[in-house]
Amino acid sequence: MLAYLIRRLFYALPILIGVNIITFALFFVVNTPDDMARMHLGAKRVTAEAIDKWKAERGYDKPLFWRSDAAGVDKVTDTIFFGKSVRMFALDFGRADDGRDIAREIRTRMGPSLAVAVPVFVLGLFSAISFALLLVYFRATYLDFAGVVLCVALMSISGLFYIIGGQWLVSKIWHLAPISGYAEGLSAAKFVILPVLISLIAGIGSSARWYRTIFLEEYTRDYVRTARAKGLPERLVLFRHVLRNALIPILTGAVVLIPTLFMGSLLIEAFFGIPGLGSYTIDAINAQDFAVVRAMVFIGSALYIVGLLLTDISYTLVDPRIRLQ
């Protein structure tokens, strides 16, 4: 197991390097730092000094890969590629355009992101599985049909509509929850409840429908027929046999999402003013703060790779037929 883990970590390394190279190419080769400076400084006629100053402030005034005028290791280390990209592996993300340390921002903003994302993940999984079970229990009836139609209708509505409509109805008309904002500690609950609720409604359509097909597929298996043949009541077949076996693909499929919960949700956080990583990213996109966007891309990819690893491990834990070598 440990050997497998170590090997998998080594497999992950090239992917992370690939991500790094892609982001580097995207941010520094497609556009030169001069282009970015001109774009950032806005005006059509920007003096060369202003551009140089902008680049120097952000450390973009170095060669891309190779510094021929430096001595020794500095030839490689004192370049944009090393300074901006390679250092990310050491979780050194540099500073944002407003001068703040990105790594520190990320640490403080993780909490609010998790406060929304974790309840959404747990409750979403629970509600979608329950709803799918309900549909499967009443399968091939009008109730099932109506439920599937409801699912398709729910997933055809834009996420923006759920957010805007929910804010309008719950906060503005009913005055049940604040429209937006956030507070530390336990008082965060009243700010978090509406975004969580809206995310649940927005997500339940597609996931419940997906889980329903997984359950139905499990129903065609031989052991289900055997269970029925020996006279088990339908309820027991569903809960003791189908549910347990169908949970394996559902739960292992959800594991990949766990690390990415740290990233938060862009839309929900932006709309509800939650100071998490999602709204941080949105602000960075709007302010065209390339350093922050680059850092978020890197962290997001790293977390996704961790998620893939966790998925593999969870497979071996829940399904004894799978062995890792």
Residues that bind another protein (CB under 8 A): 14-15, 18-19, 22-23, 26-27, 30-31, 35-36, 38-39, 152-153, 155-161, 164, 167-168, 220, 260, 263, 266-267, 270, 281-282, 285-286, 288, 290, 293-294, 296-297, 300-301, 304-305, 308
- The string over 294-307, giving b where at least 16 C-beta atoms fall within 10 Å of a residue's C-beta and e elsewhere, is bbbbbbbbbbbbbb
In angstroms, what is the minimal distance from the CB of 288 to another protein?
A: 6
The pair of structure tokens assigned to 23 is: 């982001």
Report the alpha-carbon distance of residue 122 to residue 186 in Å, rounded. Answer: 19
Inter-residue contact 109 to 262 (CB < 8 Å): no
Q: Provide the 8-state DSSP code for 170.
A: I
Among residues 77 and 206, whose Cβ is nearest to another protein? 206
Hey, what long-range contacts does 266-269 have (CB within 8 A, 24 or more apart)?
267/159, 267/160, 267/163, 268/116, 268/163, 268/195, 268/198, 268/199, 269/112, 269/113, 269/116, 269/195
Among residues 38 and 241, whose Cβ is nearest to another protein? 38
Among residues 304 and 315, whose Cβ is nearest to another protein? 304
CA angle 152, 156, 157 (to 5 degrees): 130
Among residues 124 and 278, whose Cβ is nearest to another protein? 278
The pair of structure tokens assigned to 152 is: 């398709």
Report the alpha-carbon distance of residue 28 to residue 50 in Å, rounded. Answer: 19
In angstroms, what is the minimal distance from the CB of 179 to another protein?
A: 9
In angstroms, what is the minimal distance from the CB of 7 to another protein?
A: 15
The beta strands (E) that lie in 59-208 are given as none
Among residues 27 and 82, whose Cβ is nearest to another protein? 27
CA separation, residue 111 to residues 183, 299, 302, 310, 317 (Å): 11, 16, 19, 22, 29
In angstroms, what is the minimal distance from the CB of 158 to another protein?
A: 5
Among residues 9 and 160, whose Cβ is nearest to another protein? 160
In angstroms, what is the minimal distance from the CB of 101 to another protein?
A: 20
Rg (CA), the chain: 25
Amino acid at 95: R
In angstroms, what is the minimal distance from the CB of 54 to another protein?
A: 14
In angstroms, what is the minimal distance from the CB of 74 to another protein?
A: 29
The pair of structure tokens assigned to 260 is: 């990415």
In angstroms, what is the minimal distance from the CB of 14 to another protein?
A: 7
Among residues 194 and 263, whose Cβ is nearest to another protein? 263
Among residues 33 and 275, whose Cβ is nearest to another protein? 33
